[in-house]
Structure 1
Amino acid sequence: MPKRSRGPVAAVAAAALAVVLVGGAPGAAYAYADSATGTINTSGTALSVRSGPGTGYAAWRTVSDGSTVTLLCQTTGQSVTGTYGTTTLWDLLSNGGMVSDAYVHTGSDGQVVNSCAYVGDEPSSKTNPRSANGAIDWAFQRYRSTAYENLCLAFVAQAYGWGGSGWNTAEIGGDWESSNGYLKTSGIPPRGALVWYHNSVGSGHVAISLGEGKVIGTSVGGGVGVAGYLDHGSYRGWSVAYLPAAW
């Protein structure tokens, strides 16, 4: 079922636009909307919201058929066949999870919001065992866990596949990122970035960016959860997921 029917005039206009956009695939040099509204259409079944762009990623919640959702960005991932045909397009929702665009009515068969921005690679001298999506998936598998309270630095290090960070506190880690030129203070933290904070007790805090202003980490309502990147106390900035002392 197509998301939008096109008459002859609309079809001609769409064809002309396609030439300009060179297909409009995620990552193309074209500015889409910053956000958009969609409607879940599964013909009755609740749709799993996943930690990444594929059905193999953790399903940490569901959204009911007919629900209105807000799309923050879109990315390519696993091919899925659903209500609106087959697509590799996945939508990041305002709660930080992803759903296949095959089940979301947006008024278009293609991309409608900006492509999700991913953080750059860490130095090859200390490559993380897990990718950004793998780390985020690990974190979502522990959603609402209270086992990592006061262990935010260990949480992000283990999410990226390490046994530990090698630093005693997130404040020390943030200081290192800053003094070595890795800490960025402008722009919204891209997906997979480490997001650093000061806190009142001097130990600091760190979380993992989901992109588009969302993070997952400890100390969200007393456990692992999703928050806005400015919801924690004193925001310092973000860095690539580089943990040089990790083990």
Structure 2
Amino acid sequence: MDMWKSFNAGRALVVAAAVVAGAVAVPGTSLAAAASATGTVKTAGAALTVRSGPGTGYTGWRTIANGASVTLLCQTSGESVTGTYGTTKLWDLLSNGGMVSDAYIYTGSDGQVVNSCAYVGAEPSSKTNPRAAEGAINWEFQHYGSSAYENLCLAFAAQAYGWGGSGWNTAEIGGDWESSHGYLNTTGIPPRGALVWYHNSTGDGHVAISLGEGKVIGTSVAGHVGVAGYLDHGMYRGWSVAYLPAAW
């Protein structure tokens, strides 16, 4: 597989009042203000864990220091968390591809401030994946930094979705199948959970899994499993639902 490129107190009062009233912030209940926004990590002093998905049960793969500035790309509903700014089910996808609870992020609002995260549609019921999108993403984050899957990008994606293997010899064959059967989308940013397909110089192709908002996780990011922009690989083909009809 080809290598990727180098890759305020006022809000607290508002949230506290909402918690007393039993309210929680839920994505989609109001019009988002922007495609991205800046926030500040506010904890009691400890670093904030960045997770693979919207809940404390998802893999924590790095931390962010209290007081650090972060960029929010989208927000989604997940596990209810009580933190600095009260209780909320709102989780923020950050520019590094991970998620944190909005209960610890100062944005100037107790509600949604950026677009809701877009999720890929379901695969055909004739071949349902053993593992759903968030579980697949979490599985890949559990291997973050590993070089064991180099040149095995298609197997890595298939195993992330719960299969033993994809049933295709190369990602180029897989991408060709998705294209010839009408599953390959060549416009729009790949939604969270989508398979993202590429050509490469060796003719074997490449595939990764979308984290949403222009981010993917996969093999061959500086020789390891890592996060990159979906266009950082120079031969982008498009994205598809996570449909692996030959998987076993």
Tell me if both proteins adopt one fold, taking TM over 0.5 as the criterion: yes
SS in structure 1 at match of 2:11: coil
Partner of 1:212: 213
Partner of 2:112: 111
Q: In the TM superposition, what is the alpha-carbon distance from 1:233 to its structure 2 partner?
A: 2.2
Aligned residues: CA RMSD: 1.4
Letter of the structure 2 residue corresponding to residue 3 of structure 1: R
Q: In the TM superposition, what is the alpha-carbon distance from 1:30 to its structure 2 partner?
A: 2.9
Matches within 5 A, 1:79-228: 79-228=80-229
Residues 85, 103 of structure 2: 8 Å contact kept: yes
SS in structure 1 at match of 2:225: strand
SS in structure 1 at match of 2:81: strand
Partner of 1:3: 11
Distance 1:32 1:193 in 2: 25
Distance 1:28 1:187 in 2: 24
Distance 2:179 2:11 in 1: 47
Partner of 2:47: 46
Residues 2, 109 of structure 1: 8 Å contact kept: no
Q: Does 1:62 align with 2:63?
A: yes
SS in structure 2 at match of 1:102: helix
Distance 2:113 2:100 in 1: 14
Distance 1:244 1:207 in 2: 17
Structure 1 unpaired stretches of 5+: 7-22
SS in structure 1 at match of 2:122: coil
Distance 2:66 2:12 in 1: 19
Letter of the structure 2 residue corresponding to residue 214 of structure 1: K
Residues 24, 30 of structure 1: 8 Å contact kept: no
Q: In the TM superposition, what is the alpha-carbon distance from 1:78 to its structure 2 partner?
A: 0.2
Matches within 5 A, 1:71-86: 71-86=72-87
Distance 1:31 1:81 in 2: 22
Q: In the TM superposition, what is the alpha-carbon distance from 1:2 to its structure 2 partner?
A: 5.6
SS in structure 1 at match of 2:244: coil
Distance 1:146 1:108 in 2: 41
**TM-score normalised by L of structure 1:** 0.91
Letter of the structure 2 residue corresponding to residue 188 of structure 1: I
Q: In the TM superposition, what is the alpha-carbon distance from 1:29 to its structure 2 partner?
A: 7.0
Q: In the TM superposition, what is the alpha-carbon distance from 1:115 to its structure 2 partner?
A: 0.2
Distance 1:130 1:232 in 2: 26
Aligned length: 231
Residues 2, 85 of structure 1: 8 Å contact kept: no
Indicate the percent of aligned positions where both proteins have the same amino acid: 79
Partner of 2:237: 236
Residues 3, 84 of structure 1: 8 Å contact kept: yes
Letter of the structure 2 residue corresponding to residue 163 of structure 1: G
Q: In the TM superposition, what is the alpha-carbon distance from 1:5 to its structure 2 partner?
A: 5.5
Distance 2:201 2:245 in 1: 26
Distance 2:64 2:189 in 1: 26
Letter of the structure 2 residue corresponding to residue 218 of structure 1: T
Q: Whose RCO is larger (CA < 8 A, sep 6+)?
A: 2
Q: In the TM superposition, what is the alpha-carbon distance from 1:26 to its structure 2 partner?
A: 1.3
**TM-score normalised by L of structure 2:** 0.90
Partner of 1:34: 35
Residues 30, 112 of structure 2: 8 Å contact kept: no
Partner of 2:20: none
Structure 2 unpaired stretches of 5+: 1-8, 15-23
Letter of the structure 2 residue corresponding to residue 133 of structure 1: E
SS in structure 1 at match of 2:88: strand
Q: In the TM superposition, what is the alpha-carbon distance from 1:211 to its structure 2 partner?
A: 0.1
Letter of the structure 2 residue corresponding to residue 94 of structure 1: S
Distance 1:97 1:24, change over 3 A: closer
Distance 1:2 1:42 in 2: 16
